[in-house]
Structures are given as structure tokens and as C-alpha cells.
Amino acid sequence: MSLYTRVSIELDKVQLRGTWVAVEERLGEQARESGLVEIAKKATTVGSVLLVGAEVTELKTGDVVLYTAWEGGRWQLGDTLCLLMQLEHVLARIEDAN
């Protein structure tokens, strides 16, 4: 059973409104050897910004961010797995995190 809601739209066709941000989770050590990912933990998490809404000026695509534990929607847009969240859930932009 997938934890992501599949939408038959490619990410490059999506335009976020307002202060919405699309973030790709950096699951790292949360991924088990079997490929299963533990995402039920309440933790602050790191991810990469995929898209930003028109009112978001402090982030851009490719930024690495620290965000609060996320219980909102997980989306699969085409082949891309991402979280859609309001900017207020992003705590910080991380410099040189690549």
C-alpha cells in the first residue's frame, strides 16, 4: 500500500499558488534495506525544494530545507514523490547541504 496519492500529472505541469511549497523528502537513513521507509516518526526532516508558489520569495527550486514533521499529503506527481506544504512548515534553508 502506497503512502502517496498518485496524480496523473507530471511535476513540470504543476503551478503552486500562494505560499505552497513542494518538497522531495531526503529519507536517507530512514530507508530500510528492504526499501521500506519509516515516515511515521515525529521528527524534523530535510528535503529538497521542487516547486514554490508565486508568493514564496525566500526559497527556490533546488534549495535544501529543514521542515517540521509532516502529517499532510504525500503526492506522486508522475514519477516524482513529494510533499505539498505551506511555507510556514519550513523552518530553515540549509547552505551547502549537497
pLDDT of residue 1: 44
Could you tell me the CATH superfamily of domain 5-94?
GroES chaperonin (2.30.33.40)
Residue 20 DSSP SS3: strand
Domain ranges of the chain: 5-94
User: In angstroms, rounded to a whole number, what is the distance separating the alpha carbons of residues 41 and 78?
Assistant: 26
Q: Residue 13 CB: number of other CB atoms within 10 A? A: 8
pLDDT of residue 36: 58
| Residue bearing the bigger pLDDT, 32 or 84 | 84
Q: What is the mean pLDDT of residues 3-10?
A: 83
User: In angstroms, rounded to a whole number, what is the distance separating the alpha carbons of residues 12 and 28?
Assistant: 25
Query: What is the per-residue pLDDT across 30-72, written as a single tens digit (0 to 9) for each?
Result: 555 665 555 555 556 899 999 999 999 999 999 999 998 776 7
